[in-house]
Structure 1
Amino acid sequence: MFEGMDVPAASAGAPMHPCSAPPASAPARVQEPNRLQVELRASDLDSLLPADHRARLVWRYVEQQDLSVLFDAIRARGSAPGRRAIDPRILFSLWLYATLDGVGSGREVARLSQSHDAYRWICGGVSVNYHALNDFRVGNEALMDRLLSHNVAALAAVGVIRLVRVAQDGMRVRASAGAASFRRKGTLKEHHAKATEMVHSLKEQARENPGQAERRAQAARLRAAELREQQLAAALARLPELEAIKQRNGRPIDKARASTTDADASNMKMADGGWRPAYNVQLATDCASQVIVGVDTVTAGSDMAQLAPMVQQVHQRVGKAAEQWLVDGGLPAHGQLDAVADKTEVYAPVPQARAPKGKNQGQDDEQQPPAPGSQFQPKAGDSTAVAQWRQRMSTDEAREIYKDRAATAECVNAQARNRGLLRMPVRGLAKVKCIAWWYALAHNLMRTVALAPQLIGWGTGACAGAAALT
């Protein structure tokens, strides 16, 4: 059958085996990657995420919320002319998921909505831009306040929140303003006059040269000049408040300074001991469940006057105040203790008694140090609430209860830091308050998944909740 076929000559030695290796000089044949090849794959967005993905959890939660106020504000109705609005549930879900994901930039969320599977799934093919995202994030403070109240009420209804013990703490968050932007009154007035003059000049130029070619550039310059004028006017308007603080602390009022970029920001002492422009975010957390029940943002660096307003807020939100209220040493001013005496018991460290000063500045006689535990004894000027607070904190039971403050408040603060609450991405107190609300809602959503997933229809097993928490 094989007659006539040429038989290859065998090399010296043994005959060549069919599976023998080719010569080493021959190039190896491999399958090289080709990443420029266009592939067409038939897949839907829903198949990109597993059934227990966090994006699905966020959408499930948002679907169950009453967002009628957002839909009522949409002007595109029926057959009336106008472009269709973006579904508010998409914008709400994007920011809630981005907060959990540690993303705080509207531009970054818009980019991820084109490239990241989870963000693409939330959008569902709807195109979003960073202007719409940024406007939505800071324009619904009342809605987020109401949603937090509903969330807390629902958790209280199923027994997750009992408000036996609440821990309150202030967290100073860096403002979007530089330390060099703070100016005194004389400099602010000078800069404001120049900014006002610039606005008038640009308006005159726009009227004299209404050409189409430069109209857009003129409008941009005018917007920048008007923004600068508004920021300087806001800084001048806040100066009386800052001067009053200086006067109250016994310092010259002419040393008061306000920021020209974020007038509401205040110089605060941070955790590392340095002074920077910041906001004071106040969080009240239920100790048993670690659910946030109260949120506020103030421009004062001290927590001294924040106890009573937070107790009142929680009382209005839940219908009652906590039986025990745990705060650190910066909160229990005597007036604040009197204000909340009929609502809750305050647990806070009592400062050590100071040694009395001599009558003469140069007196050599040694003063007797205060006796141990003397700070717990009621003093002559103490009110009933302050005297009870001193006596209460002298007991071993109170010291054991107070241990829950750090275990609760510091844990919640750390989780907010881990989610990106290190620097405010917006300017102005009203917008900063909205950022704090987003973090509170995101935190409580994950606590709901862990403690009562049935409230949002997120399964009943532990696997669903564990997957969403990762």
Structure 2
Amino acid sequence: MPPVVAPVIEPEKPKAKVKPIDRSQGVLRPVIVEELVGPDHKVRAIWELTGQLDLSGYYGKIQSQEGKAGSSAWNPQLLLSVWLYAYSEQVTSARYLSTLMEYEPGLMWLAGLGVVNYWTLNAFRSSHQEELSKLLAELLGVLSHEGLITLECVAHDGTKIQAQAGSDTFRRGKTLEKEILKAQELVVELERQEASGGSGNARRDAAQRRAARERNERMKLAAEELEKVRAAKKSEQERAEARVSLTEPESRNMKHGNNAIEPSYNVQISVDAEQKIIVGFCLTQSSSDSGCLQEAMEQVKETVGRYPEQSVADGGFTNQASIHDMNQSGIDFYGSLAEPEMRQAASMKAAGIDPAFGPSAFQVLTESKSLQCPAGKILEYVRQSKKGDTTYWQYQAESKDCGGCEYQKQCCPRPEKGRLVSIRMEENEEVAAFREKMKTEAAQQIYKKRGPVAEFPNAWIKEKLGIRKFRLRGMAKATTEALWGVLTYDVQQWIRLSWRPKVMAAVVGNGATQLA
């Protein structure tokens, strides 16, 4: 038998030695506030910039005064800087922001390790709209002085931002009347309870009365807004179906880019093409952009002090009224104006009419003021109409002629009333001149600036600042919050284009000096 070989037993290898992590321990460590952020951190830029701006409007509203009783108020420069930094970090919740101030390095540096409660933060954000507007104008003055704004060309666009109201809060007139009655009865009942001594909890009773009064005022506002919505409707059925939100009556249902219909506001933003700086904005209740361009240019003039030399906007803003307003204001306007033939083709497609039987297939009989169709039948003149910027003469065939025609399916899918044909006769002179201008290569090159310039800030505000839905309710407060977004965006551009290059140049210069 072969000898039995004992198995070789390898010695057990020792385990790797690593440092333990003890998360249960407490450590007392010194904090040097000045070293919490680097020299090129944006929070330093924000503090430096707010220190240069005129904040007298904020300081003038502080009731606490030196030498008198009462606690000190938080410095408005600090609160302004905290919110600008918060929005730049996509923080829009006051409660979360107050919590972040306990450990986030930038906020710890700003407040010197202090923590502002959420109520103070929210109150500061939702008020001071007038002061914020003045700060925006002052900031634009700084940017203009540094050559970052020229107003040679301003691109304009609108973007929908969702309101706080939910889609399920919209009600028709009959339901609103019941809610108004309930709100009024609740106010009367609480006042009666107060007169009889209340529940014994004065603070709770006061809070209930305040909430009831606010609800009653909101229902009254909802009734006023419902009348505005009804006034914009064309038919009685549409007016009867009109609805308004009970929680945020000033919001309107608007269609967004993802085809969702949500309660929203339309934020109109004007952008200087030189460095994509926002030079004006306004907030509207209209889902359509068609009547917003002139108001936007007025906002630019109010903020910066003058109109731009050129303005560029897409087809939603380009119409006879806008072209006329821009001419009157001395602004060279560039936009997208659809050809009448394209509009007619779209209308024919919607009606199921074959393109071969468009208006060009009908012969105008000038002497008899009528048309002759491809089948030889006569269409009599019925009226003159105006669609947008263009005047049309309309002709209509007899229903019996269309019903028995061999081309009925292609030419008149609904022969009950007979085919109606619109022939373009004349176009507004200003619109015609504008159309010819936009055919030139130079105009097309200017119009190409619109997309990259106008849409960039919209994307930035939604993606980088996180303002896809307003935190505050009501049109006035939503306007204030949009203003925070615009101000934050422009501050970030100032940091990128002006402050940081200077800081980096100084750092490089100091390094070169030390090496020498």
Q: Is residue 233 of structure 1 aligned with residue 270 of structure 2? A: no
CA gap of 1:339–1:44, structure 2 versus 1, over 3 A, is same
Does the CA-based 8 Å contact 2:289-2:317 persist in structure 1?
Answer: yes
Matches within 5 A, 1:153-168: 153-168=141-156
Matches within 5 A, 1:284-323: 284-323=270-309
CA gap of 1:315–1:27, structure 2 versus 1, over 3 A, is closer
Does the CA-based 8 Å contact 2:198-2:205 persist in structure 1?
Answer: no
Q: Is residue 53 of structure 1 aligned with residue 70 of structure 2? A: no
Q: Which amino acid aligns with 1:317?
A: T
Does the CA-based 8 Å contact 1:449-1:458 persist in structure 2?
Answer: no
TM-score in terms of structure 2 length? 0.77
Does the CA-based 8 Å contact 1:74-1:85 persist in structure 2?
Answer: yes
User: Which one has a larger percent strand, Structure 1 or Structure 2?
Assistant: 2
Q: Is residue 442 of structure 1 aligned with residue 479 of structure 2? A: no
Count of residues in Structure 1 that have an aligned counterpart in Structure 2: 428
Give CA-to-partner distance per residue, 1:162-193, whole Å, 9 cap, x none. Answer: 11111100000111111111112221111011
The answer for unaligned runs of 5 or more in structure 1 is 1-20, 368-377, 465-470
Residue 340 of structure 1 aligns to a residue whose secondary structure is helix
Provide the residue aligned with 1:279 in structure 2. Answer: 265
Q: Which amino acid aligns with 1:420?
A: G
Q: Is residue 182 of structure 1 aligned with residue 170 of structure 2? A: yes
Deviation at 1:89, TM superposition (A): 0.9
Q: Which amino acid aligns with 1:280?
A: N
Matches within 5 A, 1:96-245: 96-210=84-198, 212=200, 214-245=201-232
Deviation at 1:259, TM superposition (A): 0.7
Give the counterpart of 1:422 among 448, 455, 468.
468
CA gap of 1:359–1:35, structure 2 versus 1, over 3 A, is same
Does the CA-based 8 Å contact 2:249-2:474 persist in structure 1?
Answer: yes
Give CA-to-partner distance per residue, 1:281-321, whole Å, 9 cap, x none. Answer: 00000112100001110111111111111112212333322
Residue 155 of structure 2 aligns to a residue whose secondary structure is strand
Deviation at 1:90, TM superposition (A): 1.2
Residue 101 of structure 2 aligns to a residue whose secondary structure is helix
Distance in 2 of aligned mates of 1:274 and 1:30: 54
CA gap of 1:87–1:381, structure 2 versus 1, over 3 A, is same
Q: Is residue 360 of structure 1 aligned with residue 347 of structure 2? A: no
Deviation at 1:329, TM superposition (A): 0.8
Deviation at 1:242, TM superposition (A): 1.0
Distance in 2 of aligned mates of 1:156 and 1:234: 41
CA gap of 1:189–1:203, structure 2 versus 1, over 3 A, is same
CA gap of 1:30–1:252, structure 2 versus 1, over 3 A, is closer
- Residue identity over aligned pairs, in percent, reads 30
Give CA-to-partner distance per residue, 1:91-119, whole Å, 9 cap, x none. Answer: 10111001111111111111111121211
Give the counterpart of 1:413 among 458, 472, 477.
458
Give CA-to-partner distance per residue, 1:303-349, whole Å, 9 cap, x none. Answer: 11111111122123333222221111111231222122132121111
Residue 264 of structure 2 aligns to a residue whose secondary structure is strand
Provide the residue aligned with 1:13 in structure 2. Answer: none
Distance in 2 of aligned mates of 1:415 and 1:25: 56
TM-score in terms of structure 1 length? 0.84
Give CA-to-partner distance per residue, 1:34-56, whole Å, 9 cap, x none. Answer: 21212111222222111111111
Residue 262 of structure 1 aligns to a residue whose secondary structure is coil
Give CA-to-partner distance per residue, 1:322-377, whole Å, 9 cap, x none. Answer: 2221111111231222122132121111113133476238644878xxxxxxxxxx
Deviation at 1:414, TM superposition (A): 0.8
Distance in 2 of aligned mates of 1:442 and 1:101: 10
RMSD: 2.6
CA gap of 1:285–1:25, structure 2 versus 1, over 3 A, is closer
Does the CA-based 8 Å contact 1:206-1:215 persist in structure 2?
Answer: no
Residue 114 of structure 1 aligns to a residue whose secondary structure is coil
Residue 72 of structure 2 aligns to a residue whose secondary structure is coil
Provide the residue aligned with 1:459 in structure 2. Answer: 503
Task: Identify which of structures 1 and 2 has the higher relative contact order when contacts are C-alpha pairs closer than 8 Å and 6+ apart.
Answer: 1
Distance in 2 of aligned mates of 1:261 and 1:111: 28
Q: Is residue 246 of structure 1 aligned with residue 290 of structure 2? A: no
The answer for unaligned runs of 5 or more in structure 2 is 1-9, 345-358, 360-393, 412-423, 509-516
Does the CA-based 8 Å contact 2:265-2:286 persist in structure 1?
Answer: yes
